[in-house]
Structure 1
């Protein structure tokens, strides 16, 4: 029997992590003036999240495999604690709160496969993973909306209070939902040998290694495009306000796609064909932006990229859950680690080309093309026995 209340609680906490992460994405200049620091310092409030994720992803995945409920609840509590610490009046409090919440993020995001495996029946797990992942992207949308509702220096504190309240409610609801251990709660001895056996088992699976490699490219394109779309499109006459709207539509389309497309792909065993179409379409969109950038083309192509590319994450995570057995937290951690690493590398490379839009967009077109052979051979890997 499926316990959907656990998925609801998890989804709210997942959204909360992204809300805390991106609170200042739309008000960077205002926040810098308000706190008396540089815009670069405000930017680091977001950058600490992927940086720490790369370091903590695997350890957090191991913790989730051994002590799932305590580890997930610790992630929720730390997210809330970070949001509350940020209510202090000085930038130091803000940075401290972000660091606390960034430690919590891998404990929460790596749990998306574990929560479905423990609280949903097998037939409902693709839906649970799709909804859990979509809620993560929905948290990004909520962050952009809050920065639009509270755009001034005088309203920044109110924005932080609203965020903290959301985190508190989400954590309470998750704690209530996790009172029961779930119907699939592996009881494995929590000794170092057993813990690291989960990592060895996950990495030994050739399908999981292939999925890790595939995760690098969708993440990389999405992070780089989200970070640098505005300056790359500015020479084509796209204003910063319009670019913000385009990026918001990109994430909204990704939320919708992530909630619906992975369920369809799982039911029709169409994961590999879908990934091929998604990657090829993304490459084509980036080529069009390289040679014929305009406001309307950017609106259409970047929204289409969000709709088709972001669902690749829940599809990959569902395949990992299906494959990894009791090591799903570690395996999911490997996927998130690969994706965040791909995002950092792609964003760095595109950042070096930010004053040269055509080469930058062509680089973004090449990345998904590199992944096409792996997506094509994925169907043969999926034919091999799973757990």
Structure 2
């Protein structure tokens, strides 16, 4: 434990962050487990590609319905209750998905249950950071929590194609989903045992101040012009990411890239996102700046997106996916989340982040539907144009007053 200007900072905050990262990893593994093996899953379940895509899209659809109820529960009853609900659902439906992995209908039902769990976990990210971390560590804490999602995607993309590959061409989807189910249940138990609501004393002075209730907080959000701009940025950026992740295998299949190579590409994207999440939010915290890091990240993400769109080979796709992941996932996402929480204070963090995630799920679902119906390549070109709009929005935003004030102290 250490003190900063009369505020006590507890070492157990890192245990809380590690536990939160663990349950985040497992709920995200469950999201894209089938997306990483879409070609094999189509044959195994004897269904069309759209039915496999549905297993990912259902996460987005359920999120739209439960995003705000989950945020309300997190704010009213705390992170232990909110995340605890998500953990229990992750464990129960993860096991169900494993036990009935050969039955598409039962897998879809289990996926819906897992989708219900997701907002109770993801919507608590900035709340965990605010409750346990001082302001000069919060972008870093959010970065680590975001990093956990990338770790999940790397595990899925690298491990799943290999886990399902049995001897003599046997497809071991049932055993693989059972393994993920057991891991989900174990993570749920660890979360319930180790997660605590708050430290004995708050990590910052603003944590001691009252927050708005949900309705008042929502009204406050939409009075903040920069928050509305941030919401638009995530509508485009997070939706674009959700769509690309959900259809990563069909995107690469269109380019003549194998399923194993597709896994390497996704792993490179997420791996670079991990590196970015360890570097860029830390730089933001040290410099006490949010807007410049956000602008820098989105500006350098754009060449990666252009390269992915035009890529015609595995090597080119691998290189530009790495650039895309480092700046979009490692910088723009965690710094943007924390910026939104700061400029919307005293709106509860779970509410401000909930709206952002909700917007990204809406656009992600729409983008996936559009890519399936209109065309993948056409939408990739559209994403480039939308990214230019993001840059213009960031240029019109002001720096976070909260981080500016922290820089003066």
Give the TM-score normalised by the residue count of structure 1: 0.88
1:240 is displaced (CA, Å) by 4.3
Partner of 2:152: 139
Partner of 1:295: 314
Give distance in 2, aligned partners of 1:27 and 1:142: 13
Partner of 1:220: 239
1:120 is displaced (CA, Å) by 2.1
1:335 is displaced (CA, Å) by 1.1
| Residues 1:4 and 2:14 are matched in the alignment | yes
Cα distance per residue 1:291-336 (max 9 Å; x no partner): 5644332221121001111121111111133333461101110111
Structure 2: state its 5+ residue gaps. Answer: 1-8
Partner of 1:341: 362
Cα distance per residue 1:123-167 (max 9 Å; x no partner): 322221110111022112122233123124652222222212222
Partner of 2:85: 74
- Checking the alignment, whether the CA contact within 8 Å between 1:212 and 1:334 is kept in structure 2 is yes
Give distance in 2, aligned partners of 1:188 and 1:267: 27
Cα distance per residue 1:345-376 (max 9 Å; x no partner): 33334444436x3x443212111101111111
1:361-372 pair list within 5 angstroms:
361-372=380-391
Structure 1: state its 5+ residue gaps. Answer: none
Give distance in 1, aligned partners of 2:405 and 2:61: 33
Cα distance per residue 1:17-74 (max 9 Å; x no partner): 1011111122234334444544432321221001111222122112211112211110
Partner of 2:300: 281
Give distance in 1, aligned partners of 2:363 and 2:61: 12
Change beyond 3 A, Cα 1:273–1:31: same
- Checking the alignment, whether the CA contact within 8 Å between 1:13 and 1:167 is kept in structure 2 is yes
Partner of 1:175: 192
Give distance in 1, aligned partners of 2:310 and 2:41: 36
Give distance in 2, aligned partners of 1:205 and 1:243: 41
Q: 1:51 aligns with which of 49, 61, 70?
A: 61
Change beyond 3 A, Cα 1:232–1:96: closer
Q: Aligned-residue CA RMSD in angstroms?
A: 2.8
Change beyond 3 A, Cα 1:221–1:96: closer
Change beyond 3 A, Cα 1:81–1:236: closer
Q: 2:116 aligns with which of 103, 106, 109?
A: 103
Give the TM-score normalised by the residue count of structure 2: 0.83
Cα distance per residue 1:166-195 (max 9 Å; x no partner): 222222222222245334587989xxx943
Change beyond 3 A, Cα 1:20–1:186: farther
Give distance in 2, aligned partners of 1:7 and 1:290: 35
